[in-house]
Amino acid sequence: MAAAFARHLGSNRARVLSAGSAPAHEVNPVAVAAMAEAGVDMGDVRPRRWTPGDLEQVDVVVTMGCGDKCPVVPGTEYVDWPLTDPAGQGLDVVREVRDEIERRVRDLLRDLGVDIDTRSDR
């Protein structure tokens, strides 16, 4: 959801990679539905595992509670967002997680100096 919001709000003014240390086999369909409600299409997103090459290309790595499984690349900024895992949650909980992720993505993009597409404001 964070990567989808970053792409949506940043309108290609920030390069965004999305991967995980232990990705699921498919994107949570409840998360896809919650994001669609927010005007963000995640229908074509597929989970994938991060690679060392991914991490070498980025300035900021946002983690969401991966603990010791989180990769560390010297010189890269890390931000951890401990959030409720939407896996197995109902739509009401996933909406709350979605809204918190959107708020954090907006703040991160602003902190990075990325202009947010005001047409994306809800």
CATH number of the domain that 63 lies in? Answer: 3.40.50.2300
Quick one: how many helices (H) and strands (E) in the chain?
4, 2
Tokens of 91: 């739509």
Note whether residue 122 is domain-resident: no
Neighbours of 98 (CB within 10 A): 24
Note whether residue 118 is domain-resident: no
- pTM of the full predicted structure? 0.88
Note whether residue 79 is domain-resident: yes
pLDDT tens, 42-55? Answer: 989 899 988 888 88
pLDDT tens, 55-101? Answer: 888 888 898 877 667 777 888 888 999 999 999 999 999 999 999 99
Neighbours of 111 (CB within 10 A): 10
The answer to whether 94 and 86 have CB atoms below 8 angstroms apart is yes
Please state the domain count of the chain.
1
Q: What is the average pLDDT across 4-18?
A: 87
Helices (H), ranges, the chain: 2-10, 29-37, 52-56, 91-111
Residue 82 sits in which domain range? 2-111
